[in-house]
Structure 1
Amino acid sequence: MPADRAARPTILIAGGGVAGTLVTLHLARLAARRSTGIDIVVLEPNDLLGRGVAFGTPEDKHLLNVPASGMSALPEEPGHFVAWRAADDPDRPTHPYDFTGRREFSRYVRQLLTESLQAAGDLVNLRHVQQQAVTVRRSGAGALVTTAGGRRFRADAVVVATGLPAAGWDWAPGALRDSPFFVPDPWAPGALDVIRRDRTGPEAVLMVGAGLTMVDVALSLSEGDERRVLHAVSRSGRLPRTHARGPKLPTIPDVSDWGVSVEELRGRVQKHFTDVVRATGDWRPALDGLRVQVQNLWGRMSDEDRLTFVREYSGYWNVLRHRMPVPSADKLNALRAAGRLHLHSGATVADAEPLPRGGLRVTLTDGSTREVGWVVNCTGPRTDIRELGNPLLDDLLTPVHGVASATVATGGMGLRTVGGRLIDSAGSPEAPLWTLGALRRGELWETTAVPEIRTQALALATTLLDTLAPLPRRLADGRIVSGHHPVARPRDLLGLPLSTTAEAAASFNVGLERVMRLQAGADDLLREAIGHDPDFALAHAALAMLGHEAGAVVERVDVDAALAEAQRAITVKGDHRERSFVDVIARRVSDVRHSGAQALIAHIAAYPRDVLAVSAAVPTIAFSGVTDLQQEAWALVEGLAPAYGDHWWYISLLAFTRQEQSRFEEAALLAESALACEPSSGHAVHAQTHVMYETGQHDEGRVWLDHWVGETGRSAGYRAHFAWHAALHELAIGDLEAVRRRYAQHLAPPAVTGVRALIDSASLLWRWRLVGDQPPPAAPVIAAIGDDLLKRPQTPFIALYSAIALTADDDADGLAQLREHALGSSEASMHTLIVTACEALTAVVQQRWADAWPILEDLYPKLDQIAGSAAQREVFQDTLIHALVQDGHQERAEQLLAARPSRHRC
């Protein structure tokens, strides 16, 4: 079932290149798998996701420098990209070692994202906003992101996925930077097109840099223009090495004793290469195997050693690591053989001056000069993110109120994180800010290629959902089982461990959530959990509890059988909490008022976050609770605050408590707050409904409640009780035809039976008669209640409503039997208040008004000792007012009516 939009988290991803898109698609896949609703906002100026600098090229000749077999977006399916290519074009021969176009990979990622979103359906909503993020600020537990266009987005988590830094051109002298014949960014849209169209200046083009960017630029500018001569200049003059012509398995070294300093590691790396070349005849398996361990080795080094490596060895590493695809190398070699590509080492640009017919005369640092039409910047990404001029990164690194949201790692090569979560300048990783890919270079070094990014993206997506929308977790509980392995157990919705399987826990938790929301169907989900694991004692006990406590909604439970299964299963497995809960339910079934109540309170004292136990203890629509004294119930709820904090379920219970205390404004705010977090919270709706009734908002209350029941509350249990509330509003405004329609649809048997027929339907029929109308006969409701509830109720609260039901049926003999039952009870309120109520209502049935109203006047103020809500107890005041009128005390009746809180708004 899709999560309600108002309750689901929003994740904002700043950057929609491949890194950001991979996070997005993994979030969509995981959300669908978990049935978790999320909203995703991607801020990316490009019109298409999955492009960015690395994959935004429009030219098919620009190839990936990793074979197709290494380019799956799904870590768990290494052959996914290869299979996709085969399915995408069945007539095209494909091979896992193909070097395909970067443009094609970008299309693959977008298609996979589209498929993932379609599979997730309404669970995932994605918005692509074509703007750049420029600032991030903490906002409560989340963040507020502002774009360059001034738009603002609130999110529960932000992923900074800006990708590889742009190439720098600080090396260029001022005359070159200011020249229109200088191309600082060859990947800017149309940047190379102006060179292709140029027919006036010198034909030569100077490319500064000799890495993979130069390779792609050379291939682009040489195609279709035989006259073009290309020059590549760099300090080292080293071209990227080339991939092998066939796949080779990597040789992964054991690095456990390789040391930590850069010099120690250098010696071990050299030995590793020597050994592998000797064994295989090729250095590539050594490099590819070492790559697996690079992050481990990098993590051992100090910042000083890392910077030494970057300064002295990274150039050579990059030449070996970032290799050319074989087809690209073949074309480059052909250009060199034809004299159309020349490499120059040991120099870079020292100066430039314009030529009369366009182009530049460039002076190199070795003193030589060349006349060229254009100079193209092909140097690699800048290493220090503080020098990029990226507004978002600059903002993250700028202190706000003394603390910057991020700090740099290893000479500014990236940001410091804990597992991808940003560390602020105070050393805290608590802000809801994450990153991946290139921005983790300082702490990981190897983190810019798809094989690393896809793993980070999946891990990050998992972390985000675990943080923002957690499901049961498999965590060790410390117990030892055969084989001396620690047992890992799932968790319930409040983090308590469950002694069962993950599948059973998932069903149990959905059922538990329905109990918390006051939704129907929890019993079916508990049975589903038991089907997954017949020895799941907690599920058996919970089913027995629902059958015993909430019989109006759960009528198909054999309580004794469920309890027996719980007692059997707990001998098979279960921890102390689960054993305690099974024992509590057994006591509740046998002695709900005394030992059962005491055991339940003791259990909650030990396990305050046990939602099922707390649900049974607090008097609500669904459960009888442990006390009929309002003050004790209030104290129980208020005492749970440290255990629940601002959890929506607890806030819902607190809202009901506040309205019972006549703190209506506070109750309304609490209910609204809870509903903002969980719109399906039946407890919060119940509290708000009481507030509206007690403050005289009858028209508004009826409309609001009907809308909730018809929309958000379509899965609500206890619909009869909500219908009863709506009918009270209608009685208050005198819309008796609406009451009649509502009763026929929601409150007449067989729609209701048992407890709900007693508390809701029968009491409504009596109130209906008190307003002077003729309601439907009570006999069908009495039959639907059953003799046990009517004649032998276990609690004073049920007994009180039994008396009302018998009154609605004009059954004086039944009231006499109920009185005798109350006299025989060991509970004080049964043989005082209930006996008195039976005597008063017998006088009403016999129309002895002069006898009835004095007893009722004395009884009514004491009824708050029997719990129930003020709206429920009001039926006795209605009866008192009716008796006063019938006995000729109109003025006294009007005084009581005028003093009701429902005549005053909050």
Structure 2
Amino acid sequence: MKDRYDNPLSTQSARARDRYVAGLDLLLAGQVRFVDAFEQAIEADPGFALGHVALARGLQNTGDMTRAGAAMASARDLTAGITEREQSHVHAMDLLISGKTAQAYRAIRAHVDRFPRDALVAQTCSSVFGLIGFSGQPGREAEILAYTAALLPHYGEDWWCLSQYAFALCETGALDPADQCIDRALALNPDNANGAHVRSHIYYEAGEPARGISYLGDWLAGYHREGYLHGHLSWHAALWALEQGEAEVMWARIDADIGPSASAGLPINVLTDTASLLYRAELAGLPVAPERWSEISRYAAQFFPESGLGFVDIHAALAHAMAGNGEAMAKLLEAPNDLTGDLVTPIAAAYLAIARGDWAEAAALLTSAMADHARLGGSRAQRDLLEISLLGALLKLGKDTEARRLLALRRPALDASRLVHGLAAHS
């Protein structure tokens, strides 16, 4: 028995193999029911170790860490007699599921070097939300590009690998190659939500909101609301609506697909997408009801009460600052994370300064974080929150020329957008 990538599987059950392959494709494509598929694989062969690992990873993607840990424990008990690749697979994923990310990264990189076509393991490092993306290290975008480029010769015309490589190209500014690559990926699998996500980022970076709105409007119409990328793709659509001055469309997206009471996505997306969009709305000159900030601040305090990933921390800090939730902010900052705390602390202080109207302090603090905020994680589109927060502070200080110059130098793709109220498209 082999999987779709020609890796031998230690099971004698054709149904176990078939449901495992189907579940892996659903997971890689950001579709729904991959947990069901992995559970069916285990039902067909309870002794199938990699079926339990896949279930653990699938449950991790849905945020069910209790069941993920139990599934991983079952996999550990089933390693006798399986292949060397599968033993290495179980070991590396066990470290990841148990939260030992530094050790997991080393084990996964070593595993992928030996078994590059083991896609379930390889995908843990392939995106801005992966182990490299959230490493907190300088040069993470270039490292993801190098990592995915090294995978390409082993995968050929594979929709998953092509889409991950296209995203890495996009994040490093190679938009034309990214555009060609994602077209190939989506031609192979039009239902790949990760591919649709990459296509959205390319439109964003190219400054083509009309094409992005048209594309996502059509694509989201056929995407299940419980797909783990539905809320985030809706964020892209809402952001473009904001840029186009369609405030009612943006608010409808927040209330139906993105916010805490609506989204079926992971808490990291619910928090970051909602907080980011609310502040972008304020920067665009729209009134934001205080209850909205209070809601997302409570959500952040519930799901992310302590410092962890820098990308999450800055959005939690924004929510707490704008809601006036000093207690939650203090708890978040009492022990900054080791990797990116040096960035999170001044950014949090900047948002506190913004909340009290101290624009000079906010601008100084945000400027100090501009040099290497890529270390925080997330995509360039998501980190534009920091760029336009600085632009907004400069405009409040009457430094229009400096704001325009900064935009032209750092993020020219946003030049014609309406993301910051009062900033003309051209000087």
Structure-1-length-normalised TM-score: 0.43
Q: Which residue of 2 aligns with 1:730?
A: 241
Which one of 846, 857, 878 corresponds to residue 367 of structure 2? 857
Q: Does 2:405 align with 1:881?
A: no
Matched AA of 2:71: A
CA distance in 2, matches of 1:800, 1:494: 39
1:342 is matched with which residue? none
Partners of 2:260 and 2:296 within 8 A in 1: yes
Runs of 5+ in structure 2 lacking a partner?
A: 417-427
- Deviation track 1:822-872 (CA, whole Å, cap 9, x = no partner) reads 1xx4x3x32311222222222222322111101101212311123321100
Which of 513, 534, 542 pairs up with 2:54? 542
CA distance in 1, matches of 2:164, 2:364: 36
1:774 correspondence with 2:284? no
What do residues 691-714 of structure 1 show as CA deviations (whole Å, max 9, x unaligned)?
A: 111222112211111101213778
Quickly say closer, same or farther: Cα 1:626–1:812, change in 2 above 3 A.
Answer: closer
8 Å contact 1:658–1:664 — kept in the other structure?
A: yes
Identity among equivalent positions (%) equals 28
Residue 811 of structure 1 corresponds to 325
Q: How far apart, in 2, do the equivalents of 1:546 and 1:765 lie?
A: 30
The DSSP-based 3-state class of the residue aligned with 1:804 is: helix
What is aligned with 2:419? none
Q: How does 1:604-619 map to 2 (within 5 A)?
A: 604-619=112-127
- Select the residue among 368, 377, 380 that pairs with 1:870: 380
Partner of 1:667: 178
Alpha-carbon shift at residue 810 of structure 1 (Å): 3.5
Q: Which amino acid aligns with 1:849?
A: W
Verify the 8 A CA contact 1:816 1:838 in the aligned structure 2: no
Contact 1:791 1:802 in 2 (8 A): no
Distance in 2, Cα, partners of 1:790 & 1:618? 28
Q: CA deviation at 1:624?
A: 7.2
Corresponding position: 1:787 with 2:302: yes
Query: For 1:757-789, what per-residue CA distance to the aligned partner results, in whole angstroms no more than 9, with x for missing partners?
Result: 122222212222222212351333344445352
Please tell me whether Structure 1 or Structure 2 has the larger radius of gyration of its CA atoms. Answer: 1
> How many Å apart are 1:874 and its aligned residue?
0.1
Q: What does the per-residue CA deviation read over 1:576-617, in whole Å, with 9 as the maximum and x for residues that have no partner?
A: 222212211221233443111111111111111111111111
Kindly state the Cα deviation for residue 620 of structure 1 after the two structures are TM-superposed.
Answer: 4.2
User: 2:317 is paired with a residue of what secondary structure?
Assistant: helix
Aligned to 2:40: 528
Measured on the aligned residues, the alpha-carbon RMSD in Å equals 2.4
| 1:594 alignment counterpart | 102
For the 8 Å contact 2:132–2:143, the answer to whether it is kept is: no
Give the structure with the larger helix fraction.
2
1:648 partnered with 2:159: yes
Cα distance per residue 1:152-207 (max 9 Å; x no partner): xxxxxxxxxxxxxxxxxxxxxxxxxxxxxxxxxxxxxxxxxxxxxxxxxxxxxxxx
Q: Is the 8 A contact 1:758 1:801 kept in 2?
A: yes
8 Å contact kept, 2:19–2:38: yes
Match of 1:495, SS state, is: coil
Q: Quote the Cα distance in structure 1 between the aligned partners of 2:132 and 2:218.
A: 28
Q: Which residue of 2 aligns with 1:177?
A: none
Does residue 687 (structure 1) correspond to residue 198 (structure 2)? The answer is: yes
Relative to structure 1, the CA distance from residue 817 to residue 714 in structure 2 (aligned partners, 3 Å threshold; closer, same or farther) is: closer
Instruction: Find the residue that maps to 2:254 and give its secondary structure.
Output: helix
Supply the distance in 2 between the matched residues of 1:586 and 1:621 (Cα, whole angstroms): 19
C-alpha distance in structure 1 between counterparts of 2:225 and 2:261, whole Å:
19
Aligned with 1:579 (options 87, 97, 108):
87
* Residues 301 and 328, structure 2, Cα contact 8 Å, conserved in 1: no
- Is the contact made by 2:133 and 2:141 (CA closer than 8 Å) also made in structure 1? no
Aligned to 1:565: 74
Q: 1:503 and 1:882 mapped to 2: Cα distance? A: 57
Asked if 2 retains the 8 angstrom alpha-carbon contact of 1:615 and 1:623, the reply is: no
Give the structure with the higher percent strand: 1
Which residue does the alignment assign to 1:757?
270
Secondary structure of the 1:541 match is helix
Query: Secondary structure of 1:891's match?
Result: helix
Tell me what 1:835 maps to: 345
Query: What are the Cα deviations for residues 795-831 of structure 1, in whole angstroms up to 9, with x where unaligned?
Result: 3333233333333433344333222221xx4x3x323
**Which residue type is aligned with residue 23 of structure 2?**
G
Q: State the shift of 1:636 in Å.
A: 1.0
Residue 603, structure 1, aligned to residue 111, structure 2: yes
- Count of residues in correspondence between the two structures: 407
Q: CA deviation at 1:659?
A: 0.8
Distance 2:248 2:89 in 1: 47
TM-score by length of 2: 0.88
The SS at the match of 1:750 is coil
Match for 2:16 among 504, 525, 528?
504
**Counterpart-to-counterpart distance in 2, 1:652 and 1:690:** 12
Distance 1:505 1:785, change over 3 A: farther
Q: Secondary structure at the match of 1:569?
A: coil
> Shift of the alpha carbon at 1:670?
1.0
CA distance, structure 2, for counterparts of residue 785 and residue 530 of structure 1 = 35
Write the letter of the residue equivalent to 1:583: H
Q: Deviations for 1:1-47, whole angstroms, at most 9, x for unmatched residues? A: xxxxxxxxxxxxxxxxxxxxxxxxxxxxxxxxxxxxxxxxxxxxxxx
Residues 324-348 of structure 1, C-alpha deviations (whole Å, 9 max, x = no match): xxxxxxxxxxxxxxxxxxxxxxxxx
More RCO (CA 8 Å, sep 6+): 2
